[in-house]
């Protein structure tokens, strides 16, 4: 797929829009410039790849709005080299943003089809995060503890097992709630058995599902 002047221009426009919407972290805005979002979408949507909307990516799932990706990333307060666990690889777009930011990325997807297709595209960018096909609720016990956890699907409640896999002082960004909308929460692990929660408004996500069959 090509990345022409028109795509680059549209990307600049999207970045201005994100800035106006409150994304101030220049590292994140540069990452959005470096990763062409249209590579992750069906050819039919090429022209629309840079509008601030969600898209179907197969297996009944969606790639999140650019603003949502940028906002969740900003809430994580990431530092280069940190270990980040992402739940819901989906298209792989968010994963590439995390890789571009110089993080050590671990990502889990429960849809085989998306696990495979995202792997291909992520590798095409020259990124090689650790990718897993499985149930995000379980996290990755073998690779813990994580500095940050990013959940890109709507969790019915804060997943306890993932809190356990975080470092003290670590942060999780998770949209919480069943049904139509979710409340964006940032959970800080204050001590081994204590967390603090901040809230950041409502968003819409596909649900974080419980089993790995399919
Ligand atoms: N970060 C993605 C967003 C994809 S939508 C992107 O940039 O495109 C959320 C994804 O979470 C979907 O692909 C869905 O299959 C996945 N998902 C839902 N429940 C899950 C679970 N329990 N474990 C892992 N992935 C899950």
CATH number at residue 172: 3.40.50.150
If you take atom 10 of ligand 1, which residue's CA is the nearest one?
88
Both tokens of 138, joined, read 């379980």
* Number of structural domains found in the chain: 1
Average pLDDT, the chain: 93
CB 107 within 8 A of CB 130: yes
- Could you report the per-residue pLDDT of 141-169, keeping only the tens digit for each? 999 999 999 999 999 999 999 999 999 99
CB 189 within 8 A of CB 163: yes
Structural domain of 139? 64-203
Candidates 5, 30, 25, 29; CA nearest to 17 is 29
Reported as a pLDDT band with limits 50, 70 and 90, residue 43 is low
* Bridge partners (DSSP) listed for residue 83: 104
Residue 7 lies in a domain: no
Residue 42 lies in a domain: no
pTM for this prediction: 0.95
> Burial letters for 118-132: b for 16+ Cβ neighbours within 10 Å, e otherwise?
bbebbeebebebebb
Which atom number of ligand 1 is nearest to the Cα of residue 63?
8
Residue 74 lies in a domain: yes
Residue 4 lies in a domain: no
Give me the active site residues, please. Answer: 64
Residue 98 lies in a domain: yes
């Amino acid at each position: 797929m090509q990345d022409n002047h028109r795509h680059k221009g549209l990307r600049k426009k999207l970045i201005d829009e994100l800035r106006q919407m409150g994304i101030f972290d220049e590292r994140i805005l540069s990452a959005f410039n470096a990763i062409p979002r249209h590579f992750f979408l069906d050819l039919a949507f090429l022209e629309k790849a840079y509008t601030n909307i969600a898209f179907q990516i197969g297996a009944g799932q969606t790639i999140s709005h650019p603003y949502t990706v940028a906002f969740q990333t900003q809430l994580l307060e990431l530092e280069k080299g940190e270990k980040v666990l992402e739940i819901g690889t989906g298209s792989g777009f968010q994963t590439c943003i995390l890789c571009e930011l110089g993080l050590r990325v671990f990502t889990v997807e429960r849809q085989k089809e998306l696990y495979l297709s995202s792997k291909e595209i992520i590798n095409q960018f020259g990124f090689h995060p650790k990718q897993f096909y499985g149930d995000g609720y379980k996290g990755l016990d073998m690779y813990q503890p994580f500095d940050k956890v990013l959940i890109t699907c709507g969790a019915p409640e804060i997943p306890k097992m993932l809190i356990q896999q975080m470092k003290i002082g670590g942060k999780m960004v998770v949209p919480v709630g069943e049904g139509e909308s979710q409340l964006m929460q940032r959970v800080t692990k204050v001590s081994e058995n204590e967390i603090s929660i901040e809230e950041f408004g409502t968003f819409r996500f596909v649900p974080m599902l419980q089993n790995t069959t399919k």
